Amino acid sequence: MELVKVQKDQVIASKKDKVKDWYLIQEGTVIQKFGFSEVKLGRNAIIGILESDRFLCDYIAGEDTVLAAFTCENSDDLKKILIGQEKLRKIFLKAALEQRNQMFEVYANLYTKSRKFHTFVENIYNQYEVLCNKFKIELGNFSKMEYFKPLEMKHRAEEWEVKNSISLVKKYMSEYLQLMEKDDSLTLGVILEASAQMRRVTLGINEMEYYLAYNKDILMSENENDIFKLYFDLAIETYNKKYEITSITEQLHNIGNFTKELGIYNIRLVSRRLMEYDNHDFEIVSENNNDGNVPVRKEMDIVSVDCLDHILRYAGYSNNEIEEICTKINKYKSLPDMHSTDEVAYKLRRTITPMFYEIYRKVFLKAVLDESTLTPIIEMFLNFGFMDLELVGEEKARALYDMTAHMDICQSENIYTIYTWLKAIYQGKKEPSKNEFDMDFLNYLAEERTAGKITKQQEMELRDDCIMKVEYEIKNMFATVNKTTYGKITSFCPILNEYDLINSIDKMLVTSEKIENALNDIRKVDFSLFYREVNFADAAKGINKELIMKEILPDIILMPNVGIRAMMWQETAGIKRDTPGRFMFPIFTSVDLSDMMLETVARFRWEMCRKIQGVHWNDIRDKSLTAEYCAYIQFYRKNNELSAEAKEKVKSTLTKVKNNYREVFVRDYVNWIKFESKGSFRLNKISRDILVRYCPFVKNIRNELKINPMYQNSIQRYEVEVMRKLQRYKGVYEKYQKSGGIITQELKDNILYYQM
């Protein structure tokens, strides 16, 4: 146990961080934040008790707080903490039951809100239709209602669970604790059972918060594309026709009152919108519009807008240029089969493709300078490759239009749409990617200087030219990867079309949550996937150079296409090992995202090893994953440890992948994660032994497998080696502390790596 002091507002743990420790609150309070819901945790509450692998909430100190940190990653760790600790057992038991009850309270409150929200929206919109019909006024265009659905939950709490928890905490807590703390197994079981329930309930809370956050703009929003605006416009038109508007005013105030009651809206927004209506002078509007043609602000109707013209004018093209571009795209649209590989279709696509990226460049550079000029149609182009309504279809276009208001679901700290990625490069937060010839931006400038195209002075100036960096990224990475992730190279056209959108937009959309889930599912099995050796030094305290393990997650960029492939484009962002790799995924897909991710990280494993090993990547004298795999495949025919059947299987695989050793590894790695981790054998003895050592399973999986003779020796050898390293590091840390060194989180993480 280690005491940790944190100041008010300090983040103790962030959502999606790896759970390495549990924290028992000794003094002070901690706010457990979901989205807009939160729970106040007091003395003896435990941070981490509801999670498994990753934190599901943010934990922030509500005041200056003292925490007791316990290393607790699994049930075995918890058992060690509680054995012989009678006082601690009672504290942990009570915390588990009380915190579970708090979770149920939040869940029940949100469940009620979600149901009320859906019912209110449906009723208020139905009433709007009734009023429009009553006053003989045309319905305002509002496609959002077409996609508004009731909440569908994957993680539910049953009513009996909630009632059981309430009764236990309020009536029988003392008696229950006395019984359960008598036996270690009972204690452990109650805590873990409560933890599992809390975890499920928290996932349900996250689902409901997402539902409310995603749909709340339908009632009232900053951009005024909402039901409140429909009623406001209806009031203006109704008043202008000399009808009484009391019933409309009543509904507008109903919306205002409900949004305040729900507690998820910005109160200033609600007050401002209500005030705008209450202060609206209908008399002045009526006098100035005696003909009844009142200018009413309406949602942009994408069906009535020439989207292609809108995009091209935004980009700054002249009338003649617009006409020329439209002619080419119209020819493409008129093809009997736009995916045809015949010469006519092929040449048209070859003409349109570079034109698309030039349009994209112009649009991006205007948008990034002033984002207030962005319209939903421009955002559809930048994020999805949308250009033409006929190519996508009215229904899909409306869905894409509505999606632009929620692009945050496709982004996180290390997940980008192509637009936000290019913006990060423009702002200097990221450097351009390498091109298909493995040349980065600086090497490109050096080559241009060598070729005499620029001077030394120009080279130095261009190194920080944000526009040229963006242009380099568009011309090289974007243009190449967009085609590759699409998957069907011979029929690729960068303009979005409905023939690829074979399912609904929301189902095909690749969100940050889907990406993170697919990635974390692999990390739960292959814990060392993104760990690398980095240097640690503190010469003043006796450490000149020490290699420690650090986890570095990749940047993931979503390409604006409907694709079937993902790519591992770079294993690192630059020369340094401690920079994130770059993975590319399509922003829409009908393919299983987990399978795409699995193959992508397999290639990352291989290429990362090659980068670290350099010229020795296939030299068996310098043992590594790639060197041992190459030796195994190269000499498999002479390997006496392989059966005739195993040799035939290797031969068949080599034929299928055209003798590409990396792709043999990729196939084995996929089987390693999907099947071997569950004890279902797919690999031969040699490949299994290599993967045990270089792509080891997490400890709980190893413990289950090492009783099997097929794994036993390999896993034992691996664990002996790991234990040797762990003991050495503990000795180094002890000596370092005696010299006055502080064991930072970075150093703690290194120890935890060898304990996983």
**pLDDT tens track for 518-572:** 999 999 999 999 999 999 999 999 899 999 999 999 999 999 999 999 999 999 9
Inter-residue contact 59 to 13 (CB < 8 Å): yes
CA 141-144-150 angle, to 5 degrees, is 140
246 in a domain, yes or no?
yes
> Percentage of residues in the chain with pLDDT exceeding 90?
85
Q: What burial class does residue 591 get, using C-beta atoms within 10 Å of its C-beta: 0-12 exposed, 13-18 middle, 19+ buried?
A: middle
- Among 140-149, 283-292, 383-392, 747-756, which is the least confidently predicted range? 283-292
pLDDT of residue 287: 46
> pLDDT-based confidence at 289, cuts 50/70/90?
very low
96 in the same domain as 154: yes
Average the pLDDT over 205-213 and give the result.
Answer: 95
> pLDDT-based confidence at 495, cuts 50/70/90?
very high
147 in the same domain as 71: yes
156 in the same domain as 13: yes
Half-sphere exposure (CA, 13 Å, Cβ side) for 557? 29
> pLDDT-based confidence at 626, cuts 50/70/90?
very high
- What is the full DSSP assignment across 301-325? -GGGS-HHHHHHHHHT--HHHHHHH
539 in a domain, yes or no?
no
CA atoms 369, 371, 373, 379: torsion sign: positive
165 in the same domain as 25: yes
Element at 125 (helix H, strand E): helix 86-134
Reduce the DSSP state of residue 417 to 3 states and report it.
Answer: strand
Domain residues for 252?
Answer: 219-287
Nearest to 631 by CA among 641, 612, 616, 618: 618
15 in the same domain as 158: yes
270 in the same domain as 140: no
Average the pLDDT over 603-627 and give the result.
Answer: 96
pLDDT of residue 296: 35
Strand runs labelled E in 444-581: 531-538, 543-551, 555-563, 567-570
270 in the same domain as 199: no
- What is the full DSSP assignment across 549-578? EEE-PPEEEEEEEEES--EEEESSSSSSTT
Inter-residue contact 24 to 196 (CB < 8 Å): no
> pLDDT-based confidence at 290, cuts 50/70/90?
very low
Per-residue pLDDT for 381 more than 80? Answer: yes
Choose the final residue of a domain: 270, 287, 304: 287
212 in the same domain as 243: no
For residues 752 and 618, what is the distance between their CA atoms, to the nearest angstrom?
Answer: 30
Q: What burial class does residue 327 get, using C-beta atoms within 10 Å of its C-beta: 0-12 exposed, 13-18 middle, 19+ buried?
A: exposed
Q: Which residues of 424-437 are buried (b: 16+ CB within 10 A; e: fewer)?
A: ebbeeebbbbbbee
> pLDDT-based confidence at 286, cuts 50/70/90?
very low
Total residue count of the chain as it appears in this document: 756
CA R_g for the chain: 30
Choose the final residue of a domain: 216, 245, 267: 216
154 in the same domain as 136: yes
pLDDT of residue 304: 80
Q: What is the mean pLDDT of the chain?
A: 93
199 in a domain, yes or no?
yes
Three-state SS string across 580-638, please? CCEEEEEEEECCCHHHHHHHHHHHHHHHHHHHHHHHHCCCCCCCCHHHHHHHHHHCHHH
**pLDDT tens track for 430-464:** 999 999 888 999 999 999 999 999 999 999 999 99
19 in the same domain as 160: yes
Pairing of strands 21-27, 555-563: unpaired
> pLDDT-based confidence at 396, cuts 50/70/90?
very high
Here the tokens at position 329 are 């795209």
82 in the same domain as 13: yes
pLDDT of residue 427: 97
> pLDDT-based confidence at 575, cuts 50/70/90?
confident
**pLDDT tens track for 646-693:** 999 999 999 999 999 999 999 999 999 999 999 999 999 999 999 999
pLDDT of residue 292: 41
Q: How many separate domains does the chain show?
A: 2
pLDDT of residue 300: 56
